[in-house]
Chain A
Amino acid sequence: MHLDKYQTKSGEQNQVFEFVSIGPKGRIPKLVQYLPTNYKNLYNLGFGDKLLSGDFDDKVISNNGDSEKVLATVVSTIYNFTDKNPEALVHIKSSTESRTRLYRIGITKYLDEVRKHFDIFGKTENGWEDFEPNTNYSAFLVKRKI
């Protein structure tokens, strides 16, 4: 599997990653942040655009024509983050339904590859289950296989 990805910058703690989306709408800085939740070893993946004001927006739809490349880059940060934190569980929930759908499609497309490296769970109305293709999930949890 080879997916085109953006060059990424990271802080020394591998907790914050930055890359720049390049497309018809120009250069859009993106930031990925892994923050601890109230649960031990459970981190939330935050992802959004870095605005000119210095603020961050995780609801904006950039439409920069590179959604697959952006998604692949975000996934690559999960590899880097879990390299440093192999016990971590990562919670992923998009701000919009369309983006959550994009995540599901992306996971499904590369599921065999993803499962070599991660256990992956999806959240339904009834709770968590092992990720199944073609099922609507509102959130995901991933854990690196050790």
Chain B
Amino acid sequence: MNINEIDTIKKPIVIIDKSLDFYNDKVLFPEKLAEANKMLREVGLPDFTKLELERKEKEAQKTSADKSTPTD
């Protein structure tokens, strides 16, 4: 891969700096992590299967509506 093949639009070239690994086992934003764990304990995760079905239904309805719209 040469430099032109790197997707710099979404992924800028990241410089590896090993000194940042110093933070890997440190919780830099503890309140945020605690909040996330609390919320996930109370609310849980999304029902991915159900949401996928709902999304497909919406897309089908949109496609159907687009086809039935006059284009003149």
Contacts and interface: CB of A to CB of B under 8 A. Distances in A.
Contacts of B41: 38
A44 interface: yes
A17 B14 contact: yes
Interface residues of B, number: 37
A3 B7 CA distance: 12
Of the four ranges (under 10, 10 to 19, 20 to 34, 35 or more), the interface on chain A belongs to: 35 or more
Given A48-B28, A121-B46, A9 B16 contact: yes
A91 B40 contact: yes
Nearest to A139: B39
**Majority SS at the chain B contact face:** helix
B51 A129 contact: yes
A8 to B, nearest CB: 5
Contacts of A8: 12, 14-15
B62 interface: no
Interface string B22-64: 1110011101110111011101111110010011000000000
Interface of B: 9-24, 27-29, 31-33, 35-37, 39-41, 43-48, 51, 54-55
Interface of A: 1-3, 5-18, 31, 33, 35, 37-39, 42, 44, 46-48, 56, 58, 73, 75-76, 79-80, 83, 89, 91, 93, 95, 117, 119, 121, 123, 127-130, 139, 141
Given A11-B19, A15-B21, 8 more contacts: A10-B16, A11-B20, A11-B24, A12-B21, A37-B37, A38-B40, A58-B29, A123-B43
